[in-house]
Amino acid sequence: MKQAVSRVVEAARSAGVEITPIEYEDKTHTAQAAADAIGVEVGQIVKSLIFLAGDGYLLVLVSGKNRVDVDKLARIVGQEVKRADAKTVKELTGYTIGGVPPVGHTQKPLAVLMDRDLLDYEVVYAAAGTDRVNFAIATTDLLRITGARPCDIKDQQEQGS
């Protein structure tokens, strides 16, 4: 098992959840690619997005069918936010975009926010550290182990991956 995947598995285990990483032949670096590979609705895919806010970062867990409304996000956290670039994501989390998991980051996020639309599903699927490995997790477990706060953060104008 790759070191990046092992960190995710260990982080989940430390939080009391056993996950089983599944490696796919094709890359699953977009929500649609992941949904196609796994055989689920794109809304069940968890996009773990990184936003900069003040002197730290936010982890935003978004349904694969949605985009984040940055203005809503800024109002929720009470400060300006901007999407982190690929280099910054790697530095803050230890993972490359397309494989960023919801747990096991090298630095702790300021806050974790979750798209309310993910609560429509009992089970969701997230990246496990690489762009070819994912895992299933009960939404209730994802909330608990990340400490996420469910919010309305989706862009009403656009939807997609």
The type of residue at 138 is A
So what's the pLDDT on residue 158?
A: 56
Cβ proximity of 73 and 154 under 8 Å: no
Break the chain into its structural domains and give their ranges: 3-147
Residue with token string 């056993």? 18
CATH number of 3-147: 3.90.960.10
Cβ proximity of 74 and 42 under 8 Å: no
So what's the pLDDT on residue 157?
A: 74
Cβ proximity of 48 and 101 under 8 Å: yes
- Under DSSP, is residue 44 helix (H, G, I), strand (E, B) or coil? helix
What distance in Å separates the CA atoms of residue 105 and residue 128, rounded to the nearest whole number? 11
Instruction: Identify how many contiguous H helices and E strands the chain contains and give both numbers.
Output: 5, 10
Tokens of 125: 């699927």
Residues forming beta bridges with residue 150, ordered by sequence position: 114
Write out pLDDT tens, residues 138-154: 999 999 999 999 999 99
Q: What is the mean pLDDT of the chain?
A: 94
In three-state form (DSSP H/G/I as H, E/B as E, the rest C), the secondary structure along 51-102 is: EEECCEEEEEEEECCEEECHHHHHHHHCCCEEECCHHHHHHHHCCCCCCCCC
Q: pTM here?
A: 0.94
Write out pLDDT tens, residues 89-116: 999 999 999 999 999 999 998 899 999 9
What distance in Å separates the CA atoms of residue 82 and residue 59, rounded to the nearest whole number? 12
Give 128's DSSP letter: -
